[in-house]
Chain A
């Protein structure tokens, strides 16, 4: 699950930067379920340490200062590779499972 959360976070950051609380809401809205801060922030720190994302404290528009995360080129490459691996894994598994669900 740890690797999947990392990929989901990279996916959410693919098109725009975001901060922790917003990412948690986006994950929830996408149907992944509530991801608590206790799980999310260690993942963000791991990704940051691996150089897949960068972070910067900034004042939001009229809001308080927040730590904004942005994907790096290395992060994009990791998302591309990881996403490909995920699809390769999940497609046949889905095919098998679907038979069970239909039957």
Chain B
């Protein structure tokens, strides 16, 4: 009797697994496209999105983000913050092994962060682990527990805790910047490194022992395709499975699913606040009122963007709608200029070569400003040359205005963009100086609880928009196409379609 029962269970189970196994191809290879050259496959050294796409599947960090931009456990299964807000204790998973079979421990975590803090290593991320000049100290409590002791409470620290962890047993004592490891990485992620052909592709394969469960895909091929037209042709022909699509090409393609979603980005026109032309807030507000964002987005991006009125993307939890919105009103613009006593205003805006959208936007803004009697000249500069101008360590800087964008991180802290100390060396290249905003920025970093921080940032955005230091232009939509043979994609949003890469599969 029991034998029959067991046998029937066995038959049912095998039938069931057969049915479940049918939906995806266990030999499936996903082909992703990369738009530029890879620098190094090392999360503490690279700064380009191309390399980080690959690092995202090979390495993992203490925490990661979910589709709602909340931090959830990854290598750390839980964490606590002390009452003072200064000591963060992370309890690590015990079932993690490196791709070479060695066990993962707290020593690896300490090693990674100490390496970032090492002045001799060329990691630009070092500044993320230094608060007001004091470094964060990492202490190994036991094999699976690590403490981070901050010089003072700092909420954005969790973002820094998502940094990919490097293996101590491989890298200890080696010179990291020139190490071969950067081309043959070993990590804790769902995919293992297989092959890297310089300038051409990177191949990774499934790690069946991954702690989060073996991924459904057998392999991922990251192919470098520098030209966007080529990528589009390759998507159409099925030689690649996904790519970003420029607005002009965003229409139905056979066998391809199109996705349009928001991200943590915004494009703006920034004023040099130290220039006498823009020192009067009424002039800046006038120019903000003069912009017809709907027309701009329609002409430049085929409508595939949202008008922006605040320095925070609507998908961030800190977003607040209660800001000063300068909605299109040319009459008001003219009145403000008159009030400020400005009869003739002429200035030059810098745009980087290589962004057709920004160049087009400049010409349309030129026309829109002309309607209120302002003459804007356009100067297109090569990217590095433009950066040199706006990052120059002098005051006043040699520009009037610039059209550029920000890609903000998961944490809404934007200290480096708005704090008065970040000028002239820093990302506050417009020279914004508002003590109230400075205080709010400091408070936002200090407070632990999201609800408190949200209030702080809402007040800050209101204050910033009142001063109109930028003309906020648009929040671009991310446009992507994925072949319909690919399943298991994550919900479209700021974390992208491939957030849960272990769930992605190729349909049979």
Binding partners A and B: no
